Amino acid sequence: MSRSRFASASFSAALLCVALLPGSAPAATVTIGEAVGTNGCTSGSTFVQDSTASGTAGYTVPASGQIVGWSHDAGPGIGSKLRLKVFRRTADPAVFLVVGESASEALEPNELNEFLLSSPIDVTAGDLLGLTVPADSAEQPRCANNTSSTGNGARFLSGDPAPGTSPTFASPSPGQRLNISATLVAEGFEPPPPPPTTPATPSPDSSLTTGIEDAACTKLRKKLKKAKRKDRKKKVRKLRRKLRRLGC
C-alpha cells in the first residue's frame, strides 16, 4: 500500500477533507499518542504502548473509527525508517493482535514527519498504538522517550509481526513512551470538554478605595484639630496613630 508524505498545512487540510466527506455522519478528528522521542531503537524491533501515565497524552483509541494518518519526530539519522502498527489486547496481557500497519516509511531527519494513509486502518475503542523499526532501517530512529513516571510503559519484541498475527511481547519497560502519534476519524465521537476555567477574581476599584480612604483621613484630621484645641494629649496621640496607619 502506498503512502504519501505531506507538509503540515497540506496534511491538516487532507485530514479535514476526510472528516467532511459528503454523505457521511458528523465525525470527530482526534490525535492519539505523542510524537516526541530521544531514544534510538535497533532495526528489526517492534513496540506497543502498553500503558500511559495519568494526565498525559494517551495511545489508546477512544472510539471506533479509522486511523487516517500518523506522525513521528525524527532524529538526525539519515536512512532511518519506521512503520505505524496498531494492536489489540487479548486475554493474555503479553499477547497482542496486530490490527493493522502502515507501509515502511523513510524519515526526513530532524523534523516532524507526517504521513497520510491511502488505506485507513479500521480500529475499535481500546486498540493501542505501536511501531516497528524495519530490518532495513540504516539508522536507529528515535522510537521512544524516557520519562520519570512508571505509569508509562512500552513492550518490545524482536521482528515485524504481520497483521492478523498475535505475537508475544516482553514485559513492559517502565517510563517509556513511544515517539508516534496517529489521527483518528471517529463518527459520532465527541472529545471530552476542556477542564473548566476558574473565573478571574475582579480587582477592586482603586478609585473607590482611594475615595473612602481620603474621606476617613479628612474626618480624622478634623477630630485631631478639635482635640488639639482642647489640649487632650491622649486623644491627640491616638488620632495620630490612626492617621499613620491609614497613610494620611
pTM: 0.69
User: Helix, strand or coil for residue 212?
Assistant: helix
Residues 6 or more apart whose CB falls under 8 angstroms from that of 205 comprise: none
> Which of the listed ranges 33-42, 154-163, 200-209, 229-238 does the model predict with the highest average pLDDT?
154-163
Q: Is 145 within a domain?
A: yes
Residue 211 identity (one-letter amino acid): G
> CATH number of the domain that 42 lies in?
2.60.120
Q: Is 195 within a domain?
A: no
pLDDT in tens, 174-212: 999 999 999 999 976 666 666 666 666 655 555 555 556
Asked if residues 32 and 131 have their Cβ atoms less than 8 Å apart, the reply is: no
State whether 242 and 178 are in the same domain. no
Alpha carbons within 13 A on the beta-carbon side of 134: 16
What's residue 151's pLDDT?
94
Domain count, the chain: 2
The CA distances from residue 94 to 25, 45, 88, in Å, are: 36, 16, 11
What percentage of the chain's residues is helix, strand, coil (to nearest 5)?
A: 20, 35, 45
Q: Is 237 within a domain?
A: yes
State whether 132 and 218 are in the same domain. no
Q: Is 200 within a domain?
A: no
d(CA 19, CA 119): 15
